[in-house]
């Protein structure tokens, strides 16, 4: 008999970059067929966006696997010599620095990019400003954000970076059937991030959170079944024949004041 399983995956342009499979047999059949993780989606999207944009200097591309016979830590180099993601990802990011920062160069670059790009302006005081392409207006001496009503003189700008937002998605399946799929954008994607210990830990934590969410739903369902069997003197075999709507109706009867 084939066993039921859950599968969580993260993809870029229909190429899976991470996947976890975990047991679904340990949950109530009704619960696993009615899994709903919508309340977890914002946090999943947030942590994936963050980890996929970590710069190289903050990444850990070595993974601890245990101790050897000499009681020394054993680390695996996660970054492969042949980088599969770089075969499907081409960076379209571009820069303007110092003397190249002028109206002609900025407008030329803006015409060459689409609305998925964001503009990061690094100022000489060390701070950064983030603009959306659609909100930018350029004059002879400055760049303006018409929505935020800010105006930055060229002389205060150290660098302008035009960064593409890339579209990823994550999904949860029960066997080969979609439970949920959500797309999300990553600003300043670093291809090396998917071969980092940071990414492994984030995906593991996401799956741990999903398991706990399903486990709680399973416990709640068992409590509902117990309440119905106890209050209505119903056997388990009779309980199994009830639909979810019938169960809800019996529960409402218990808590009705009429």
Do 55 and 94 lie in one domain? The reply is no
For residue 149, the enclosing domain spans 90-166
User: What is the 3-state secondary structure of 64-111?
Assistant: EEEECCCCCEEEEECCCCCCCHHHCCCCCCEEEEHHHCCHHHHHHHHH
In sequence order, the β-bridge partners of residue 169 are 11, 183
Among 133, 166, 199, which residue terminates a domain?
Answer: 166
Do 95 and 149 lie in one domain? The reply is yes
Within-domain flag for 143: yes
Sequential DSSP letters for 187-226: ET--GGGGGSHHHHHHHHHHHHHHHHHHHHHHHHHHHHHH
Do 101 and 158 lie in one domain? The reply is yes
Between CA 258 and CA 255 the distance in angstroms is 9
Within-domain flag for 172: no
pLDDT 10s digit of each residue in the chain, 258 long?
478 999 999 998 888 889 999 999 988 887 888 899 999 999 999 999 999 988 888 877 665 555 566 666 554 555 555 555 555 566 677 888 888 899 999 999 999 888 878 888 889 998 888 888 888 899 999 999 888 778 899 999 999 988 887 889 999 999 989 999 999 988 778 888 888 889 999 999 999 999 999 998 887 777 666 566 666 666 667 766 767 677 667 656 544 333
Among 108, 133, 166, which residue terminates a domain?
Answer: 166
Within-domain flag for 174: no
Within-domain flag for 14: yes
The CATH number that applies at residue 162 is 2.30.30
Do 95 and 162 lie in one domain? The reply is yes
Do 133 and 101 lie in one domain? The reply is yes
Do 142 and 194 lie in one domain? The reply is no
Do 94 and 153 lie in one domain? The reply is yes
- pLDDT at position 158 is 92
In sequence order, the β-bridge partners of residue 191 are none
Do 98 and 162 lie in one domain? The reply is yes
Within-domain flag for 107: yes
- pLDDT at position 257 is 35
Within-domain flag for 173: no
Within-domain flag for 258: no
Q: How many domains does the chain have?
A: 2
Task: Write the CB contacts of 131 (distance below 8 Å, at least 6 apart in sequence).
Answer: 118, 119, 120, 121, 143, 145
Within-domain flag for 62: yes
| Nearest CA-CA partner of 212 in 19, 29, 39, 51 | 39
First-to-final CA distance of the chain = 48
Note if the pTM is more than 0.85.
Answer: no
- pLDDT at position 192 is 84
């Amino acid at each position: 008999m084939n066993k039921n399983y859950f599968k969580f995956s993260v993809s870029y342009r229909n190429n899976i970059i991470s996947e976890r499979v975990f047991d679904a047999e340990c949950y109530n059949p009704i619960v696993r067929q009615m899994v709903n993780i919508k309340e977890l989606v914002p946090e999943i999207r947030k942590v994936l966006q963050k980890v996929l944009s970590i710069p190289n200097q903050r990444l850990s591309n070595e993974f601890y696997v245990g101790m050897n016979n000499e009681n020394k830590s054993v680390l695996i180099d996660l970054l492969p010599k042949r980088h599969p993601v770089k075969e499907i990802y081409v960076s379209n990011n571009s820069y303007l620095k110092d003397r190249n920062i002028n109206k002609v160069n900025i407008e030329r670059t803006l015409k060459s990019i689409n609305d998925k790009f964001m503009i990061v302006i690094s100022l000489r005081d060390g701070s950064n400003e983030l603009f959306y392409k659609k909100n930018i207006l350029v004059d002879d001496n400055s760049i303006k954000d018409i929505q935020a009503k800010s105006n930055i003189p060229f002389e205060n700008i150290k660098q302008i970076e035009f960064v593409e937002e890339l579209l990823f998605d994550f999904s949860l399946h029960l066997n080969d059937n979609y439970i949920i799929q959500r797309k999300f954008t990553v600003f300043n994607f670093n291809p090396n991030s998917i071969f980092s210990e940071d990414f492994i830990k984030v995906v593991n934590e996401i799956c741990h959170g999903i398991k706990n969410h399903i486990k709680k739903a399973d416990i709640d369902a068992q409590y509902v079944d117990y309440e119905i069997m106890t209050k209505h003197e119903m056997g388990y075999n009779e309980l199994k024949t009830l639909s979810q709507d019938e169960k809800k109706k019996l529960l409402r009867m218990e808590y009705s004041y009429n």
